[in-house]
Structures are given as structure tokens and as C-alpha cells.
């Protein structure tokens, strides 16, 4: 009887293994090209993002974000979702022409998640006239791969390198 209890698990394992081989094929994990993902995210930030900001196209800028995006801006509360982001960011697009330069410092990809650490220099040029306002800072964005394979920002945090205004 003792031998039966020792043999039964082995029999079940062999049957399971054999049935898996005879049954449906197990879907393989999709091939992920990390290098291509890194290049896509880098291009998004250093080229597409910069171009869209220069054009003042707020809706295309907002399209970089997931619906449930979380922003953690400096000296502000956490903003959750596109509606909160719209309320916070759109006035900048309405009041200023923005010129920015982005340099990606680091990108790491792990499955359907990635992060990018980057720094920027920007000029906020008032549409009503006046002197440009310089800004330099750094950001970290966390990206989530979408069903179509593209990447969107799900979390962002940034801060300025500029001294506090007094």
C-alpha cells in the first residue's frame, strides 16, 4: 500500500505530461525585442514629444498617457487620470509657446513595463508677450505597453533644477 502512494503521483505526472503533449499546444510567450522597445521609447521622448510640444498640440501630448495616468508634479498634489492632467497641463499650452529639449539618460524595459529617466531644458514663451521663462529639470516616466504594442506613460514624476523663486 505504501508503494502505491509513492507510485500514484508519478503516474499522474506522466499522464499529465503525455496529455499536454497530445492536447492543445501551449502558447509561447511573445518574442520581446528589448532593444527595439528602448529605441521606441527614446524616439518618443527625444523626437515625438519635443515636436508635439513645439507645435503646441495638447491633445497629441495627452495621448502619450494612459487613461489612468498618475502625475506627481513638484509642489503639488498627486494627479490621477487624464481629466486631472488636462486641468493641470492644458493652461501651459494655452498661455505659452513651449520650446524644449530632451535627453534620455536611462531606459529599462521589463516585459510590459519600462521606465525612462531623462533631463530637459525648456523655454516658456508667454503668448501675451514678455520674457521667456527658462526651466531645466529631470523626469522619470513609467511606461506600460499597450495592446497594440505601443508604449504610454502610466506614471510621471519630475522636478526642477532651478532655484526656488523668492
Query: Does the pTM of the predicted model rise above 0.95?
Result: no
Query: According to the model, what pLDDT value does residue 24 have?
Result: 52
Residue 115 pLDDT class (50, 70, 90 cuts) = very high
Average pLDDT, the chain: 87
Q: What CATH class is the domain 32-160?
A: alpha beta
Residue 56, Cβ density class (10 Å: 0-12 exposed, 13-18 middle, ≥19 buried) = middle
CA distance 163 to 166: 9
The full 3-state SS of the chain, as one line of letters, equals CHHHHHHHHHHHHHHHHHHHHHCCCCCCCCCCCHHHHHHHHHHHHHHHHHHHHHHCCHHHHHCCEEEEEEEECCCCCCEECHHHHHHHHHHHHHHEEEEEEEEEEEEEEECCEEEEEEEEEEEEEECCCCCCEEEEEEEEEEEEECCCCCEEEEEEEEEECCCCCC
Query: According to the model, what pLDDT value does residue 139 have?
Result: 98
Q: Which residue has the higher pLDDT, 23 or 47?
A: 47
Q: Which residue has the higher pLDDT, 18 or 93?
A: 93
Within 10 angstroms of residue 161's Cβ, the number of other Cβ atoms is: 11
Q: Which residue has the higher pLDDT, 135 or 8?
A: 135
For the chain, give every domain's residue range: 32-160
Give the residue from 121, 158, 116 showing the smallest Cα distance to 141.
Answer: 116
Query: According to the model, what pLDDT value does residue 26 have?
Result: 56
**Chain segment 124-161, per-residue pLDDT in tens:** 999 999 999 999 999 999 999 999 999 999 999 999 99
Q: Is the pLDDT of residue 7 over 60?
A: no
**Chain segment 64-81, per-residue pLDDT in tens:** 999 999 999 999 999 999
Within 10 angstroms of residue 143's Cβ, the number of other Cβ atoms is: 26
Averaged pLDDT for residues 92-119: 97
Query: According to the model, what pLDDT value does residue 163 have?
Result: 84
CB of 107 closer than 8 Å to CB of 116: yes
Q: Which residue has the higher pLDDT, 70 or 3?
A: 70
Q: Which residue has the higher pLDDT, 30 or 130?
A: 130
CA distance 57 to 83: 16
Amino acid at each position: 500500500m505504501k508503494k502505491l502512494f509513492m507510485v500514484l503521483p508519478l503516474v499522474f505526472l506522466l499522464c499529465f505530461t503525455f496529455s499536454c503533449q497530445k492536447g492543445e499546444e501551449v502558447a509561447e510567450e511573445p518574442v520581446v525585442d528589448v532593444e527595439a522597445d528602448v529605441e521606441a521609447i527614446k524616439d518618443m521622448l527625444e523626437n515625438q514629444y519635443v515636436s508635439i510640444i513645439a507645435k503646441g498640440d495638447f491633445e497629441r501630448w495627452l495621448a502619450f498617457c494612459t487613461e489612468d495616468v498618475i502625475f506627481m508634479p513638484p509642489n503639488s498634489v498627486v494627479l490621477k487620470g487624464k481629466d486631472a492632467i488636462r486641468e493641470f497641463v492644458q493652461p501651459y499650452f494655452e498661455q505659452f509657446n513651449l520650446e524644449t529639449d530632451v535627453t534620455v539618460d536611462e531606459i529599462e524595459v521589463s516585459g510590459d513595463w519600462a521606465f525612462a529617466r531623462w533631463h530637459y531644458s525648456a523655454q516658456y514663451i508667454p503668448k501675451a508677450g514678455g520674457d521667456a521663462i527658462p526651466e531645466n529639470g529631470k523626469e522619470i516616466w513609467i511606461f506600460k505597453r499597450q495592446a497594440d504594442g505601443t508604449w504610454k506613460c502610466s506614471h510621471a514624476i519630475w522636478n526642477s533644477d532651478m532655484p526656488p523663486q523668492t
